[in-house]
Amino acid sequence: MQSILFLKVLDIVIARGRDEDYLAHHPYPEDILLVIEISDKTIDYDQTTKLSLYAEAGIYHYWIVNLPARQLEHHSQPYQNAQSKFSYLSKQIFLSN
């Protein structure tokens, strides 16, 4: 089973269980409840490459804190389209006040 840390740098991960559960290995995709990326200069990469990789790994909830736009993007329900590309069915945007 492949670890989600194929990307090496994740900003925030919320996973099932306790810290002790991951002393021998990183969380597997099915253990991860939420990935949060804090994006400033990496926004394009986070909205394309990372989004596709997380969807392919089966990460159900992916948030992007989009600092330049001052908004939170919530992506959920990963899927694979007819062209075999991975993305999310649902995208919600929450704006700052």
Separation of alpha carbons 35 and 75, rounded Å = 10
- What is d(CA 51, CA 59) in angstroms, rounded to the nearest whole number? 9
Dump pLDDT digits (tens) for 15-56: 999 989 999 988 899 999 999 999 999 999 999 999 999 999
Domain ranges of the chain: 27-82
CA quadruple 50, 48, 78, 96: dihedral sign = positive
Q: Note the pTM of the prediction, 2 decimals.
A: 0.85
Evaluate if residue 7 carries a pLDDT over 90: no
Rounded Cα gap, residues 58 and 42, in angstroms: 22
Contact 87, 55 (CB under 8 A): yes
Report helix, strand or coil for 62. Answer: strand
